[in-house]
């Protein structure tokens, strides 16, 4: 392996991630946090097109003309076999007569279905190759979070799942600064929507045994919920922890401990502790992340509202009588918080172009797709145990590596493009103010 840079926290390798991953030992990293190419031929970059993907899979195959977004007939290895047969069969079903290419629409439909199907195949195959290596080097129960493009992330998710990961969730990163790349046509017509979200695939390597046993043995398998809560200044208890009104309305809901003063007091104490913890650490993290602009717009639409239901009286609950029997409703005990709807979601500062402090520039070279540092820090915290080792197979300008420094994690970073290596070193060489060490709480 070619080590380009190393310090106490980050080891940066120069080379193709598939080659370098093969040299890493099994079960050696705690998480994978990565922002891979999206398979969109972004700005004509080789690393985001089929040529780059084929070169990564097989260096001898790199000279063929790209099939990405073009007719599949130019790449023999992709226009034979089951994939094309299925596409051609589907095209046959779509012709007006059902007779395959016997109508003028048939050949056109066959070509279009074929091209659409095949265009994403090199990307999916390539994602499967590096995802399989990530699975191998992850400890049991280790998480991978990987950004995808809104048009191609289905290929990424399929490849991640087919490589052996469990798809545990998807996170939507919403932002308001996207710019539509649309062909303007007469009559107010266009060809594209304004981009406003990027999906993040959340996968987990299969556990060994239960979650609890896996965490005890390997330190992995669970999300770091408390470290990623949404900050709040709201009063969340509102008296609901008393338990005195919540269970008194219907005898079938009663439990023996509810009539025991000591046990009821213990229950109230537990709930009070949980409320106090939530007020201190924040709300439970969500799978939707907002930028400041999106949060402001959500608050504008929702207005300031108190959390809670609308139960005010104690009239019989006839709407649920078929299930629970008719009984008196319990007057609602509200929470003591008000505000806009965005208070329930993590919010990060986002700019169309990251600020100069987050966008290294060395000899006029900059990386074109830089993620916000705070966003990457949140993801690193979410899926990595305290003081763990994070793998970033697509280092780019080094945002994930810097996030690891802030979060007291070690990072193994890999970058294929030589032009971007000095950007990573420049980023890591500047003074970095590290964040709170959650590992010190252990």
Edge-first strand listing for the sheet containing 389-392: 3-6, 10-14, 410-415, 389-392, 29-34, 138-147, 197-204, 166-174, 288-291, 347-348
Top mean-pLDDT range of 62-76, 117-131, 157-171: 157-171
63: in domain: no
DSSP 292-360: HHHHHHHHHHH-SEESS----S--B-GGGHHHH-S-BPPPP---B-EE-GGGGS-EE---SS--GGGS-
| 133 and 271 housed in the same domain | no
| 360 and 383 housed in the same domain | yes
Instruction: Say what the pLDDT of residue 350 is.
Output: 44
187: in domain: no
Distance in angstroms (rounded) separating the CA atoms of residues 34 and 37 = 10
Instruction: Say what the pLDDT of residue 157 is.
Output: 97
428: in domain: yes
CATH number at residue 197: 3.40.50.150
| 149 and 201 housed in the same domain | yes
319: in domain: no
- Whether residue 159 has pLDDT greater than 80: yes
At 180, the pLDDT band (50, 70, 90 cuts) reads confident
292: in domain: no
Q: How many domains is the chain built from?
A: 3
259: in domain: yes
At 391, the pLDDT band (50, 70, 90 cuts) reads very high
> Minimal CA–CA distance to 271: which of 304, 226, 236, 221?
236
| 154 and 33 housed in the same domain | yes
Of 136 and 257, the one with more pLDDT: 136
Query: Residues 77-94: pLDDT tens digits?
Result: 333 333 333 333 433 443
| 38 and 163 housed in the same domain | yes
Host domain of residue 246: 233-281+303-310+329-345
| 150 and 17 housed in the same domain | yes
| 143 and 244 housed in the same domain | no
């Amino acid at each position: 392996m070619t080590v380009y840079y190393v310090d106490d926290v980050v080891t940066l390798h120069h080379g193709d991630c598939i080659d370098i991953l093969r040299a890493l030992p099994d079960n050696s990293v705690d998480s994978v946090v990565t922002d891979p190419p999206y398979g969109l031929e972004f700005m004509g970059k080789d690393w985001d097109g089929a040529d780059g993907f084929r070169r990564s899979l097989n260096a001898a195959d790199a000279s063929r003309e790209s099939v990405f977004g073009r007719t599949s007939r130019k790449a023999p290895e992709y226009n034979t076999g089951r994939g094309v047969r299925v596409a051609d069969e589907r095209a046959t079903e779509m012709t007006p007569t059902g007779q395959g290419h016997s109508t003028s629409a048939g050949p056109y439909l066959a070509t279009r279905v074929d091209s659409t199907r095949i265009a994403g195949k090199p990307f999916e195959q390539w994602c499967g190759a590096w995802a399989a290596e990530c699975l191998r080097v992850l400890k049991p129960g280790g998480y991978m979070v990987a950004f995808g493009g809104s048009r191609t992330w289905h290929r990424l998710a399929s490849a991640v799942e087919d490589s052996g990961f469990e798809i545990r969730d998807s996170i939507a990163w919403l932002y308001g600064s996207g710019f539509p790349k649309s062909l303007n046509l007469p009559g107010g017509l266009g060809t594209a929507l304004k981009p406003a979200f990027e999906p993040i695939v959340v996968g987990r390597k299969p556990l060994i045994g239960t979650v609890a046993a896996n965490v005890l043995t390997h330190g992995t398998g669970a999300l770091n919920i408390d470290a990623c809560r949404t900050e709040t200044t709201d009063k969340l208890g509102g008296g609901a922890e008393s338990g005195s009104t919540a269970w008194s309305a219907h005898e079938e809901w009663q439990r023996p401990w509810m009539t025991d003063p000591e046990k009821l007091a213990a229950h109230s104490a537990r709930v009070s502790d949980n409320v106090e913890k939530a007020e201190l650490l924040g709300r439970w993290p969500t799978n939707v992340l907002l930028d400041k602009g999106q949060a402001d717009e959500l608050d504008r639409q929702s207005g300031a509202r108190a959390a809670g239901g609308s139960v005010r009286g104690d009239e019989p609950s006839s709407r649920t009588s078929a299930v629970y029997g008719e009984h008196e409703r319990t007057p609602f005990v509200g929470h003591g918080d008000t505000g806009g709807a965005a208070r329930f979601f993590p919010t990060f500062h986002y700019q169309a172009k990251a600020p100069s402090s987050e966008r290294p520039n060395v000899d006029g070279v900059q990386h074109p797709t830089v993620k916000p540092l705070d966003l990457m820090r949140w993801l690193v915290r979410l899926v990595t145990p305290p003081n763990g080792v994070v793998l970033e197979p697509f280092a780019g300008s080094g945002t994930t590596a810097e996030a690891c420094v802030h979060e007291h994690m070690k990072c193994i970073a890999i970058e294929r493009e030589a032009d971007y290596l000095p950007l990573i070193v420049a980023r890591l060489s500047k003074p970095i103010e590290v964040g709170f060490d959650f590992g010190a709480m252990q």
